[in-house]
Amino acid sequence: MRVYQEVLPNSCLLILTDSDGWAGLAPLARALRWALRQPQRRVWVDCSSLANLNTHALFLLRQGADRLRQRGGCLVLCHPPASLSELQPEGPPGYQVAASLLDAEQV
């Protein structure tokens, strides 16, 4: 997985993409730590360039969402891959889901 980071006026944007090499989830973990250090309290995670999202990635996203919620913020998963509906994490996911980045603004 490769992660691109961008600071927007009211949020941080993380764009997740598939990569040719195996990088594991370290790029996602680093990007979430970076986003949590930013003054913005909203993090948008764009999955439109990602083929699937595994349970380990969802676990990291849930942890990030929990930390953001403790700070009065939220994490919004945008353009969720089809595999998201197949994965059933225990308990509420902690993050919100939006069909697009435009919809994320409304969350």
Could you give the angle at the alpha carbon of 71 between the alpha carbons of 67 and 77, nearest 5°?
Answer: 55
Q: Which CATH class is domain 2-104?
A: alpha beta
Banded model confidence at residue 65, pLDDT cuts 50, 70, 90:
very high
CA dihedral (70, 71, 72, 76) positive or negative: negative
Residue 92 — pLDDT band, cuts 50, 70, 90? low
Residue 16 dihedral angles phi and psi, to the nearest 5°: -95, 135
Read off the pLDDT of residues 34-62 as tens digits, 9 standing for 90 and up: 999 999 999 999 999 988 888 888 889 99
The continuous run of DSSP H or E covering 99 comes out as none
The two structure tokens encoding residue 79:
């353009």
Q: State the chain's mean pLDDT as an integer.
A: 87
pTM for this structure? 0.87
Q: Which residue ranges make up each domain of the chain?
A: 2-104
